[in-house]
Amino acid sequence: MSKKKLPMNNESVAIHDHLFTLLQKTEKKDLLEILKQAYCNMNSEQREIVFGKLIVTSIRETKFLTGKNVLSKIKKFQERSLKRYYYAPFDINSKNYMDLPEETESWCSEISILLEETCQLTHQGFHEDAIICFQILFDLIDRIGDDEIIFGDEVGSWLVSGDNKETVRCYITLLAKVATVEVFLEHIIPLLKRDSYESFSKEVYKTAIKLVTKEQQIALQEEVANKDIRIK
């Protein structure tokens, strides 16, 4: 569960300063081994804080992802999620209601990485696999508040750092390139509805109107009007 940060006392500061003085003198290979051990012994929240940006950068720089590999990982993640592998309830009270189980933190970290890998698939041209991957992942995000996938006093898509404007933009760009009007609507409408519940923070409709084809744009406008979907 999430822990409070405690301020360092004078003794802790002295140890901290001595430690980093020693690290400055340590050889690169030994520093890498220390980082490896630290990573392996961190919980999901700690890894996100320390290594989160580096993980995203490493995914964006890789050229060796394949649609088959990423889709296989996502299907396994979906199976574990639906089997409540990450669901770890505890008795909530006034003192711990803001805490999240390690399993919840792990689920959020894993799905963020998978979303980033799916974005990378689109850049590498694995369009059909990427669409399936996005659909599975966004469907899981839509279900976390209703199904027993992760636990917390309040859970929602705001916990998933990888569910952001850039990811949505990537998804919409992909749909505009390869999806028929019917498939486009099937994928975009759930995103629109979720965005309306989140104060339109991801600007799904605005982004879609800018990026999609004229045919998709007309179909989307008609669907929004017919189903009275909020867009602002």
Q: Give the pLDDT score at 109.
A: 92
Q: Give the pLDDT score at 8.
A: 57
User: Does residue 11 surpass a pLDDT of 80?
Assistant: no
In this structure, the dihedral spanned by the alpha carbons of residues 213, 217, 218 and 219, taken in order and rounded to 10 degrees, is 100
Q: Map out the domains of the chain as residue ranges.
A: 63-226
pLDDT-derived band at 6, boundaries 50, 70, 90: very low
The larger pLDDT score, comparing residue 9 to residue 20, is at 20
User: Does residue 78 surpass a pLDDT of 60?
Assistant: yes
Report, as an integer, the average pLDDT of 105-117. 93
